[in-house]
Amino acid sequence: MSDHLPLITVFGSLHYDITVHGPARPRRGETVTGTAWRPKCGGKGGNQAVAAAGAGVRAAMIGVVGDDDFGATLLANLDNKGVDRRFVRIEPGVGSGMSVAIFDAEGDYGAVIVSGANLTLSDQDVVAADELVRQTRVLILQNEVPDAANVAAAAAVRAAGGKVLLNAAPARVLSGELAALVDILVVNAIEAEMLGGIAAVDTLDQALAAAQALTSLCPIVVVTAGGDGVACADRAGGKMTIPAEKIKVESTHGAGDQFLGAFAAALASGSTIDDALRAANRAAAILVNTPEIARL
């Protein structure tokens, strides 16, 4: 890919995912008979890097895998998807990150992640990737790696003139140190409720209200509301909502990461926030409409 294209750098997680399909997700103490299972390369960071690469920009990954079969598969997947993974470190003696996601008949899912090698990501990985940092137009972060590592990456990219986009997932307390370095915060309804102490985000109007409230933390806030759409607000008083596209839901797995990758790619390519959100909304809808087996 041409070196003249804008660079998106994803600093974050890589997981080897195992997806299980059944009629419903099990309740506490319940065993459900499934219908199929398959492996998939993921992690929010890995998914977002692949999505950005697929959106026509240069995409690079800074992360860590273990010295195991899962790690080798994750690295090969980044190669196959056109992601620069020169700065993905292999940590000896530690297992790669992995997850298990259980899908119900409607395509919704619940997941458990085991972070493994991802928890060793640190400021030293930022220093080692200085070549990337200096070229990065948009940095994507998530909450599947240590907060201190995210702070180091954000500070380095901001110092080099790039923008920082935080996908605050899974939900956890946002440190003041990191919040001060984030240009754009992207959260889903559950994460918005947790970060803002909001009672409920069940509609697009409530998502917009949550985005407006969360601008106390970061200058621009995007709240994704699943099948309802996406809302955005900024500290200058700007606001917008985009309804979700009406499509047949095959699987919601990875939709948020697809949204993030496409959003960051559009921003890095010079799109306005409004146009970038529309492009990301469209990219997520296409993925949700695509059966899992066709995504491999």
Q: What is the pLDDT of residues 164-197, one digit of tens each?
A: 999 999 999 999 999 999 999 999 999 999 998 8
Q: Which residues pair with 158 in a beta bridge?
A: none
- Give residue 271's pLDDT: 97
The span from the CA of 290 to the CA of 230, in Å, is 20
Q: Nearest CA to 277 among 186, 148, 174, 145? A: 186
Find the mean pLDDT for residues 83-105. 95
What is the residue type of 279?
A
- Give residue 75's pLDDT: 98
Structure-token pair, residue 44: 């929010």
- Give residue 281's pLDDT: 93
- Give residue 293's pLDDT: 65
The pLDDT tens digits of the residues spanning 11-26 come to 999 999 999 999 999 9
- Give residue 109's pLDDT: 81
Exactly one of 17, 183, 228, 257 is catalytic; which is it?
257
Check pLDDT > 90 for residue 37: yes
Check pLDDT > 60 for residue 1: no
The span from the CA of 170 to the CA of 168, in Å, is 6
Does 3 participate in catalysis according to the annotation? no
Check pLDDT > 80 for residue 210: yes
Q: Are strands 220-224 and 58-66 parallel, antiparallel or unpaired?
A: unpaired
Check pLDDT > 80 for residue 257: yes
Strand locations in 15-91, DSSP E?
15-21, 36-42, 58-66, 84-91
Q: State the burial class of residue 291 (Cβ atoms within 10 Å of its Cβ: 0-12, 13-18, 19+).
A: exposed
Residue that wins the pLDDT comparison between 290 and 166: 166
- Give residue 60's pLDDT: 98
**Residues in contact with 90: Cβ distance below 8 Å, sequence separation at least 6, in sequence order:** 64, 65, 66, 67, 71, 75
* Secondary structure of residue 115 in the 3-state scheme: coil
- Mean pLDDT, all residues of the chain: 93
Find the mean pLDDT for residues 283-289. 86
The span from the CA of 139 to the CA of 12, in Å, is 10
CB 218 within 8 A of CB 200: no
Find the mean pLDDT for residues 225-254. 89
Find the mean pLDDT for residues 77-93. 97
| Residue length of the chain | 296
Find the mean pLDDT for residues 273-284. 94
The pLDDT tens digits of the residues spanning 124-159 come to 999 999 999 999 999 999 999 999 999 999 999 999
* Secondary structure of residue 105 in the 3-state scheme: coil
- Give residue 296's pLDDT: 63
Q: Give Cα 66 distance to the centre of its chain.
A: 21
CATH numbers and ranges of domains, the chain: 7-24+34-182+245-295 (3.40.1190.20)
Find the mean pLDDT for residues 88-100. 96
